[in-house]
A and B are shown apart, each in its own frame.
Chain A
Amino acid sequence: MTLTGRTGLLAALGAVVLVIVPSWWTLLAVDGVLAALVVADLVLAGNVRRLRLHRSGDTNVRLGEEATVALIVENPGPRPLRARLRDAWPPSAGSSPRTVTVTIPPGERRRVETRLVPTRRGDRAAVAVTFRSYGPLGLAARQLNRAAPWTVRVLPAFPSRRHLPAKLARLRELTGQHVALIRGQGTEFDSLREYVDGDDVRSIDWRATARRADVVVRTWRPERDRRIYLVLDTGRTAAGRVGDIPRLDCSMDAALLLGALASRAGDRVDLLAYDRRVRARVEGAARTEVLTAMVRAMAPLEPELIEADAAGMVSALLSRVRQRCLVVLLTDLNTTAIEEGLLPLLPQLTAKHLVVVAAVSDPRVTEMAAARGDSAALYDAAAAERARADRRRVTVELRKYGVEVVDAPPDEIAPALADAYLSLKAAGRL
Chain B
Amino acid sequence: MTAVQAPPGEPATAGQVARRRWRRSRGILVAVLALLVLGVLLALMRPRTGSETLDPDSPGQDGARALVEITRRHGTPVTVAHTASDAAERLRSQPDAVLVVVRSERLVAADLTALRGAPGDRLLVTPSSETLSALAPGVEASGSAWSTPAPGCTLPAAAYAGDADFLGATTYKAPGEATTCYFDGLGGAGLVQLPMGGATVTVLGSSRLLTNQHLAENGNAALAMNLIEGRAGVVWLLPDLPAPGSGGHKSFSELLPFGVKLAVLQIVIAVVLVALWRSRRLGPVVVEPLPVVVRSAEAVEGRARLYRSRRATDRAAEALRAGALERLTALLGMPRSAASDPAMAAEIVAAVAAHTGQEQAVVGAALYGPPPVDDAGLVSLAGVLDDLERLVRNS
Task: Output the residue of B283, B295, B298, B315 with the most chain A CB within 10 A.
Answer: B283
Given contacts A8-B270, A383-B303, are A241 and B295 in contact (CB under 8 A)? yes
Q: Give min CB distance, A127 to chain B, whole Å.
A: 5
Q: Give min CB distance, B321 to chain A, whole Å.
A: 9
Tell me how many residues of B have a C-beta within 8 Å of chain A. Answer: 71
A98-129 vs B: 1/0 string, CB under 8 Å? 11100000000000010100001000000111
What is the CA–CA distance of A388 and B375 in the complex, to the nearest angstrom? 22
Q: Which residues from 239 to 277 on chain B have a C-beta closer than 8 Å to any C-beta of chain A? A: 257-260, 262-267, 269-271, 273-274, 276-277
What is the CA–CA distance of A15 and B303 in the complex, to the nearest angstrom? 68
What is the CA–CA distance of A236 and B24 in the complex, to the nearest angstrom? 50
A374 at interface (Cβ–Cβ under 8 A)? yes
Q: Give min CB distance, A2 to chain B, whole Å.
A: 4
* CB-based contact A18/B282 at 8 Å: no
* CB-based contact A12/B267 at 8 Å: yes
A125, closest chain B residue (CB)? B288
The contact of A21 among B143, B299, B378, by CB within 8 Å, is B143
What is the CA–CA distance of A97 and B6 in the complex, to the nearest angstrom? 12
A60-97 vs B: 1/0 string, CB under 8 Å? 00000000000000000000000010101111100011
The contact of B286 among A19, A89, A97, by CB within 8 Å, is A89
* CB-based contact B266/A239 at 8 Å: no
What is the CA–CA distance of A195 and B382 in the complex, to the nearest angstrom? 68
B185 at interface (Cβ–Cβ under 8 A)? no
* CB-based contact A91/B288 at 8 Å: yes
- Set of chain A residues within 8 Å of B142, measured between Cβ atoms: 23
- Set of chain B residues within 8 Å of A332, measured between Cβ atoms: 296
A237, closest chain B residue (CB)? B296
The contact of A364 among B271, B295, B379, B383, by CB within 8 Å, is B295
- Set of chain A residues within 8 Å of B304, measured between Cβ atoms: 368, 379-380, 382-384
A302, closest chain B residue (CB)? B291
B20-46 vs A: 1/0 string, CB under 8 Å? 000000011001001100100010000
The contact of B326 among A5, A387, A389, by CB within 8 Å, is A389
B316 at interface (Cβ–Cβ under 8 A)? yes
A170 at interface (Cβ–Cβ under 8 A)? no
Q: Give min CB distance, B220 to chain A, whole Å.
A: 25
* CB-based contact B283/A362 at 8 Å: no
* CB-based contact B301/A385 at 8 Å: no
* CB-based contact B284/A88 at 8 Å: yes
- Set of chain B residues within 8 Å of A89, measured between Cβ atoms: 286
Q: Which residues from 303 to 317 on chain B have a C-beta closer than 8 Å to any C-beta of chain A? A: 303-305, 307-308, 312, 315-317
- Set of chain A residues within 8 Å of B31, measured between Cβ atoms: 9, 12-13
* CB-based contact A381/B296 at 8 Å: no
Given contacts A91-B288, A128-B283, A130-B284, are A11 and B307 in contact (CB under 8 A)? no
B280 at interface (Cβ–Cβ under 8 A)? yes
A59 at interface (Cβ–Cβ under 8 A)? no
Task: Output the residue of B8, B28, B270, B299 with the most chain A CB within 10 A.
Answer: B270
What is the CA–CA distance of A303 and B290 in the complex, to the nearest angstrom? 12
Of A25-33, A213-221, A272-280, A291-299, the one touching chain B: A25-33
Given contacts A241-B295, A242-B296, are A8 and B260 in contact (CB under 8 A)? no
- Set of chain B residues within 8 Å of A31, measured between Cβ atoms: 266, 269
Given contacts A368-B300, A378-B316, A392-B326, are A5 and B284 in contact (CB under 8 A)? no
A335-361 vs B: 1/0 string, CB under 8 Å? 000000000000000000000000000
* CB-based contact A382/B307 at 8 Å: yes
A247 at interface (Cβ–Cβ under 8 A)? yes
Given contacts A27-B262, A375-B378, A378-B379, are A5 and B320 in contact (CB under 8 A)? no
A3, closest chain B residue (CB)? B277
B386 at interface (Cβ–Cβ under 8 A)? yes
- Set of chain B residues within 8 Å of A387, measured between Cβ atoms: 299-300, 303
What is the CA–CA distance of A82 and B227 in the complex, to the nearest angstrom? 64
B319 at interface (Cβ–Cβ under 8 A)? yes
B294 at interface (Cβ–Cβ under 8 A)? yes
* CB-based contact A18/B382 at 8 Å: no
B323 at interface (Cβ–Cβ under 8 A)? yes
- Set of chain A residues within 8 Å of B269, measured between Cβ atoms: 11, 14, 31
What is the CA–CA distance of A27 and B261 in the complex, to the nearest angstrom? 11
Given contacts A5-B277, A86-B282, A382-B319, are A97 and B294 in contact (CB under 8 A)? no
The contact of B259 among A19, A130, A240, by CB within 8 Å, is A19
* CB-based contact B258/A22 at 8 Å: yes
Range, interface on chain A: 35 or more
B82 at interface (Cβ–Cβ under 8 A)? no
* CB-based contact A88/B283 at 8 Å: yes
B144 at interface (Cβ–Cβ under 8 A)? yes
B116 at interface (Cβ–Cβ under 8 A)? no
Task: Output the residue of B7, B266, B286, B293 with the most chain A CB within 10 A.
Answer: B266
What is the CA–CA distance of A96 and B269 in the complex, to the nearest angstrom? 36
B274, closest chain A residue (CB)? A8
The contact of A24 among B262, B303, B322, B383, by CB within 8 Å, is B262
Q: Give min CB distance, B20 to chain A, whole Å.
A: 13
* CB-based contact B9/A98 at 8 Å: yes
* CB-based contact A88/B286 at 8 Å: yes
A47 at interface (Cβ–Cβ under 8 A)? no
- Set of chain B residues within 8 Å of A7, measured between Cβ atoms: 273, 277
A54 at interface (Cβ–Cβ under 8 A)? no
Given contacts A382-B315, A387-B300, A388-B323, are A8 and B257 in contact (CB under 8 A)? no
* CB-based contact A396/B336 at 8 Å: yes
The contact of A20 among B259, B280, B326, by CB within 8 Å, is B259
- Set of chain A residues within 8 Å of B4, measured between Cβ atoms: none
* CB-based contact B288/A18 at 8 Å: no
Q: Give min CB distance, B221 to chain A, whole Å.
A: 30
Q: Give min CB distance, A226 to chain B, whole Å.
A: 30
* CB-based contact A9/B27 at 8 Å: yes
- Set of chain B residues within 8 Å of A145, measured between Cβ atoms: 283-284
A6 at interface (Cβ–Cβ under 8 A)? yes
A372 at interface (Cβ–Cβ under 8 A)? yes
* CB-based contact A369/B291 at 8 Å: no
A153 at interface (Cβ–Cβ under 8 A)? no
* CB-based contact A240/B379 at 8 Å: no
The contact of B301 among A22, A84, A380, by CB within 8 Å, is A380
A36 at interface (Cβ–Cβ under 8 A)? no
* CB-based contact A86/B307 at 8 Å: no
Q: Give min CB distance, A234 to chain B, whole Å.
A: 12
* CB-based contact B320/A381 at 8 Å: yes
Q: Give min CB distance, B302 to chain A, whole Å.
A: 8
What is the CA–CA distance of A35 and B198 in the complex, to the nearest angstrom? 51
Q: Which residues from 209 to 257 on chain A have a C-beta closer than 8 Å to any C-beta of chain B? A: 239-242, 246-247
Q: Give min CB distance, A336 to chain B, whole Å.
A: 11
B271, closest chain A residue (CB)? A8
Given contacts A15-B270, A239-B294, are A385 and B7 in contact (CB under 8 A)? no
Given contacts A11-B273, A389-B319, are A375 and B267 in contact (CB under 8 A)? no
- Set of chain A residues within 8 Å of B271, measured between Cβ atoms: 8
B292 at interface (Cβ–Cβ under 8 A)? yes
9 new A-B contacts at CB < 8 Å, known A21-B259, A362-B296: A12-B270, A15-B264, A23-B142, A97-B8, A239-B294, A375-B308, A383-B316, A384-B300, A387-B299
Can you list 9 contacts pairing A with B, beta carbon distance less than 8 Å?
A22-B257, A239-B292, A241-B295, A369-B323, A376-B308, A381-B382, A382-B304, A382-B317, A387-B299
Q: Which 9 A-B pairs have the closest CB atoms?
A: A22-B259, A130-B283, A97-B9, A240-B296, A382-B316, A11-B270, A8-B274, A375-B375, A385-B323
